[in-house]
Structure formats: structure tokens, C-alpha cells
Structure 1
Amino acid sequence: MVTAEAGTKIAGYTYQLQRALHRMFSSVHGNILIGVETGDDVVELRMSDDGTIDAVFEQDKHTIKESGQPYQDGSKNLWHTIHIWLDSAVKAREQYSEIRYYLVTNKSVPVQAMARRLSDATTPEEVEACIAEIREKAAVVGENDKSEIAAVSGFDDASLRFVIERIELVDSSGTVDGVRIKDATIRLFHLTDDLVDKGEEIYRGLLGQLVDCCQSAWISREPAWLRKPPFAERLRSEMNAYRVDRYLERSLASIAWREYHKGDAKDLLFIAQLQHLRLSDEYCTRALSHYWSFYSERIRLLNAGIVLQRAWSARDGALHQRWRAIRDEYLEFEGDIDEGDGMAIAKKIARDTLSGDHRAPLDGRETSEPYFTLGHYHDLANRRADDVFVYWDDAFAPAKDDSDGEAS
């Protein structure tokens, strides 16, 4: 049974991992390493072309309490953290050209709090005022005080000045603008409009990858240092995968094609063409579902900007050329046709053109649903005024002046 205390600790560890992912994608530096439980809760190392390295040490404190905040003036959270930074400052200054220290929490820290004043101290006067206040507070603490402010006060002014000048407080969800850490990180993915609703799933995938990388390092008794490129590549792969899913046509059963069908089917030219061939009502009903389902998908892909109009025009042309080749095979290469054979030939042209085995590609991508090609052909058979119009029997052939001389 998970106790409330255990749940609080787990929430804190999770927050730390969330912060690591947020720092990774919020960094504007090209060559970085993100450490989890290395030199601090989260560490960012920024490598410059000249070989120098800047470091950011981040201490994360998460709480689920309704009131208060983790960096109280007399709290161990605050002074133990600063003690650690002071204790490691000499070694850090030998390793890194510039250093920053971050106090991060999901709660709002009031203006009058010491943590806030330490963060806001930018002028020499403000820094000296903070040092004086630390020494005053340390002078009145008792022997049982566990906040470690006395230990902090034991450092010389130069050491205190160095650390205080570099402290930055980030409160209210741990992001600069107060947005929840998860939402703020998702925004850093810069998802296009068609992928916004997949942000949560993409975030979970990246956070899961971060957890796996850390766990693998810790099991091997190695520090968890993470590079950004594998995560950036994962983000690209996730985005591309969702785009492919959106690009591909949906299954016929999932499309409410009847919502698009208004009026009498007999008013549709392609239905008239099929009925002219004396095809069954059942076949015509299936053709109607293919036509409207294709129409629905084309509108969806066009409106989402996933497939541009030029790709649809190219597919129009490719399907029309295939129909023309099939028609020529029967009419140009099989000799003279008896007057009574016209209907039989028209049926063969329609049969071969509307073969369910042919799945026409779209914009260079393969398609998988038969209706997506059949419905497109029915669409072309409905567009008598266009150059890509297809027909099965010569009774529907456009006048020569309307078809640029292509009518037989």
C-alpha cells in the first residue's frame, strides 16, 4: 500500500524528471548535456566551440500541500541547498567558465521571502544586504537548528557573494511564465496545428525515454548524463509518425459518408453511368459509399494542409491516364467492334479501371484502402466539364469541343 509520504516523494522525483526534459528543450544552446542526480537535481552543461563549459545547477522542490512553499526562510530546503553550492563552488569555478544556480519550485514564493530576495539581488548593495541578513539570522539560531543557515554563514563574504550573485528563483510551476511544467514543455515542441492534440502523447513518449535513459545509467552505476539529439530525433519521429497516420486514408467503416450525401443519387453522373451499364443496385450503393467516403477524406486532408491541391491534381491526371490506357487497349488494339458489342466493351473498361486491386498513390505515398481509389474514379466520372473526366460508354463521351479532341 502506497503511503501519502511515499506518494509525495514520487511526485517530487517525477517533477525532477519533468524539469530535466523541460530544461533540455528550453535551452537555446546548441551543444548541451543534461544531468539528473549528478552535481545537483538537474544540471545543464553548455559546451562552447572554444572548449569552455558553462554550468547551471538546479535544485527542484515540489510540494502537493495547499499552503506554504518549500523555500521558507528557516527551511533546510533553502539553506542546505545553498550550503552545497558554497561547498562545491571552488571546484566548480575550476571546471566551468560561468555558473548559475537555480532554485525551482511548483509553488509561488512571496516577494518578502528570503529566497526571493536572494534571487532579486543584482546590485552590489543588494548582495551585501543579503549577506548581512544571513549573518544576523545565523547569530540567533539555536544549537538544534537544522536549517544549516549557520553553516552558510560560516563562509567568507567573497564565497557568499559569488553564489548569491548567481542565484535565480523560478517558482509557480517551475516555468518562467507560470504555465504548468508539462504544458510549458509541450509548447517547446512547436507542434503544428494538425499535431496539437497529440502533444500529451508525444510528451509521455519523450518523458518515458528520459526515464529509461536515467534508469539504464543508474543500473550500470554511471551518472545519468543525457544529450539532446536522441530526444530531438524522437520528437521528429513522433511528429512524422502522427503525420503519416493523418495522411493515410481512414478505413471505410470509420467514415460517416451518409452525412455528406444530400439529395437524390440519380442526380450524380457517375451513378447514371453505372446504371447505364445495368449494374446492380447493390453495386451502385457501394459505389455511392466509396464516392462520398473519398470526398470526406479529400476534404479532411485538404483542410488540414496535409495534402495540397497540386497533389490531388497530379492524382487526377494519373488516374485519368490509366483509364485512357485501359480504354485504348480495348478500342484501339482489339480491331473493329460490332455495334452490339459496345455495351460489353464499356463494361470491360469499367471493370478493369475500377479494379479493387489498384491502389493509386497520393503525393508519392502508397494508399491502402480500395475505396480511396474507386471513389476517386467515381469523382472523375462525375466531372464532365473537366479534362480528367472518365466515362465507360461512348453515350457519355463529351463533345469534342469540350474535351480538347479526346473523345472517341
Structure 2
Amino acid sequence: MIKNTLTDAPGQMLGYLFQIERAVFWLSELKTGGFVGIECGDDIVLKKNVNGENEIYEQDKSSISSKLPYSDLSSDLWKTLGIWLDKIKTSSIDIEDCHFFMVSNRKIPTNRLVWKFSNADNETELDICISLLREIGAKHTGKMTPIISKVLSYKDIELKELIRKIKVFDNASSKQPMFKEGIRNNMKIGKEVPFDNIYQNFIGWAFENIVDCWNSKNDAWLEVDSFISLSNRLITQYSNRPFIERTIENLPVSGKDVKSHKTENFVKQLEQIDADDDEKIMAINDYLRASSEKTRFAKEANITIQDWKQFEGNLIDRWDMIFKPTCRLSESSSDEKKGYEIYYKTLIHKEKLCGIDTEQNYTTRGAYHRLANKIIIGWHPLWKKLFI
């Protein structure tokens, strides 16, 4: 049982995160006055205004396995149909003002029944959908039988009323980007602004608001107006910065570059404290990324030589305040272990540049490696004897 829980956990977590990403997408899509609900009667519920007209009910399915969602006899398809039909029957939603979306982060095969639902444009095509639904459902004799039987107990006219309002979206079907890039396009965030940073703020803000609502035992409704205010504030914040660090995804390091730097002084310094190969490769990555950004900032950003001197001076001061007491007071049994302790105490830090917080870990860590490469600082208690 525990094994199954652990196996399912990554998929479940990605499913929750996918819901949050979809919620943020809809916040970026809706006009002021709108609301997006999470688990408020469906995975995602949209209200285009406070009165709830033109609601959208969305089921989101995220998959990391080879099993793709919304297959013809899948529980996610039949359970979703059952939920929506029940809502219509109990009049909790007005079918005339609603739309129903099935969304997947994976490509859904084009031969599946859900695409026939999505593409049905006239009465003949709707009748074909209902015939296929009943034919497929009638063949099933397994554990899904009660759910399928409940769906098929509805009249053709009731099924047709729902199917005409269903639309399916996957990661390849929409002409416009629907996920992360769609959020950027909707908010009209330019390429000069570090969208990855803003996106993470969007996701974090949505997550915190959802959890706060649930902890207060309230439905989780996110306001478009609040989201727009957050977006404007973040864009202003990043646009006014004298520098913007690129994410590590935008600063790839090749195996050739790593190999060519394995004999640098900062790597030799790590060897003296028994750092393993992974730690040395990480250090080379940080060193190369930080050096690349320092060069770019010199050309593009409003950062002076004095700013860099202040930045590195602060790093040296902090290292010195760690190095001396650790050498004297550490309970580590060897100089190598003391040096290893100094190294990690020093690198768990993000230093300000131009008085502004840096956001990428490599900026500070790479700068420390530059100083170690120049033999201005060291990790081993006897680093001066070893390298000077």
C-alpha cells in the first residue's frame, strides 16, 4: 500500500500543479471582474463576472505515464460526464450559460471519442456521438459498470445538451499557446522581462491563496483584479532593475566546457577538501554561468566596476567571518572536513548586487569560485600554503 502511494505521489503532485497553472492561465485570460475557482465543484470553475454568467467548468488531467487521459472507457471520462450531467439535472448550473472543457497536458489521440464530442457542429454529428457513447458503454462489464450505467441512463436529449457544450484541449490542439507561454502572451510581458521569475511568483501567489482559503474552510476563488495588480507590480519591479539574471535553463553548460575547466584553481581547491565529482561539476556550472552573466552585465546593464568591487568585497568579508571561527572552533576531525564545512557555510548565501537582491544561486556561488580561482580566498584551513 505504501509502495503504491509513493509511486502515485509524483503524478498526483503534478496534477495539482497543473490545476494551479491552468488557474493562472485563466486569470490571465479573463477580463477584470472575473473569478477562477479551484475544486469549487470541478477542477477549475470560471466566472466571467461575480454573478456567474457564462461559466466554464474544466476537468484537468495531467499525465507523466504512458497512459493518456480521456480514453473511451477511462474513469476520468465517464466520471466527468456523470458529474456534469448531475449538475445539469439538479439545476446547480444553467446549461445555456455554461461550457465544459476537458484539458490535458499530453497529446490526446485523435481517434478518441472526446474529440468527436469537441468537433460535433450539427445534429447529425451529435447523434453519432451519442450512438458511439452508448455502444462503447454497453460493451463494458468491469468495475466501471455502475458509473457508465448511470451516464447511459440519461436521455439522448440530455446527453446531446451536454455534448454540444464540450470542448477538448491538449498540448497540441490549440492554435494559441494555452499553458506557460499563453500566460505570458495574455499578460503582454515582453521578452526583456524575466518571465520565469514572474511565472514562479504567479504560481506561488495562487498556491498561497488557495491554501489560505482551504485552511479557512472557504472555497478557493481567485480574483482576476488581484492577479492583474500582482502582474503589474512584478513587471514594474523587474523592469526597473539595473540587471536581470537569466535562469539556468537559458544558460546551458556543455560537457566540453565542463571538461576544459576541470584543472582550474577553484576546482583544485575543492579537491583539497575532498569534494566529489558532482560537487565539482556543479561548481564549474556556477562559475561559467556567473562569468557569462558578468560579461553580459558589463555590456548591457548599468553596473559599474565599483559595484562589482563592493559585491566581491562583501563576499570576502562574509567568507572571512566564517573561515576563522570554523578553523578554530569546528569539531571536525581533519582539515579536509573543516574546509568542507567552511565551503558549505559560505555558499549558502545570496549577496546583493547594486543594493538589489540577486535571485539566481549561481550569481553568488560563481563569484566565490572566481575568488577561489584567483586564490583570493580558500576553503582548506591551509589553503595559502597549498596554493600560494
Q: Is the 8 A contact 2:101 2:169 kept in 1?
A: yes
For 2:188, the equivalent position in structure 1 comes to: 190
For 1:217, the equivalent position in structure 2 comes to: 213
What is the count of residue pairs matched by the alignment?
250
- Structure 1, unmatched stretches of 5+, are 249-295, 302-366, 369-408
| TM-score, L = length of structure 2 | 0.59
For 1:233, the equivalent position in structure 2 comes to: 229
For 1:134, the equivalent position in structure 2 comes to: 133
Equivalent of 1:38 in 37, 40, 54: 40
Q: Is the 8 A contact 1:36 1:225 kept in 2?
A: yes
The one-letter code matched in structure 1 to 2:219 is P
Deviations 1:47-105 (A, max 9, x none): 28xx671110000010001x341111110110110110001013457657511000001
Q: Is the 8 A contact 2:126 2:160 kept in 1?
A: yes
User: 1:70–1:147: structure 2 CA closer, same or farther, 3 Å change rule?
Assistant: farther
Q: Does the residue aligned with 1:148 lie in a helix, a strand or coil?
A: helix
- Once residues 222 and 299 of structure 1 are traced to their aligned partners in structure 2, the CA distance between those partners, rounded to angstroms, is 48
- Once residues 33 and 195 of structure 2 are traced to their aligned partners in structure 1, the CA distance between those partners, rounded to angstroms, is 25
Deviations 1:331-385 (A, max 9, x none): xxxxxxxxxxxxxxxxxxxxxxxxxxxxxxxxxxxx99xxxxxxxxxxxxxxxxx
Q: Does the residue aligned with 1:43 lie in a helix, a strand or coil?
A: strand
Q: CA deviation at 1:247?
A: 8.1
The one-letter code matched in structure 2 to 1:13 is Y
Task: State yes or no: 1:12 paired with 2:15.
Answer: yes
Q: Is the 8 A contact 2:243 2:301 kept in 1?
A: no
Q: Is the 8 A contact 1:171 1:178 kept in 2?
A: no
Q: Does the residue aligned with 1:103 lie in a helix, a strand or coil?
A: strand
For 2:238, the equivalent position in structure 1 comes to: 242
Task: State yes or no: 1:115 paired with 2:79.
Answer: no
The one-letter code matched in structure 1 to 2:57 is F
List aligned pairs for 1:310-321, cutoff 5 A: none
After superposing on structure 2, the runs of 4+ consecutive aligned residues of structure 1 that deviate more than 3 Å are 90-97, 143-147, 177-180, 296-301
- Once residues 79 and 299 of structure 1 are traced to their aligned partners in structure 2, the CA distance between those partners, rounded to angstroms, is 56
The one-letter code matched in structure 2 to 1:206 is F
User: 1:164–1:238: structure 2 CA closer, same or farther, 3 Å change rule?
Assistant: same
| TM-score, L = length of structure 1 | 0.56
The one-letter code matched in structure 2 to 1:59 is Q
Q: Does the residue aligned with 1:221 lie in a helix, a strand or coil?
A: coil
Larger Rg: 1
Q: Is the 8 A contact 1:137 1:149 kept in 2?
A: no
RMSD: 2.9
The one-letter code matched in structure 2 to 1:44 is L
Q: Is the 8 A contact 1:24 1:34 kept in 2?
A: yes
- Once residues 20 and 11 of structure 1 are traced to their aligned partners in structure 2, the CA distance between those partners, rounded to angstroms, is 14
User: 1:233–1:178: structure 2 CA closer, same or farther, 3 Å change rule?
Assistant: closer
For 1:171, the equivalent position in structure 2 comes to: 170
- Structure 2, unmatched stretches of 5+, are 245-296, 303-353, 356-388
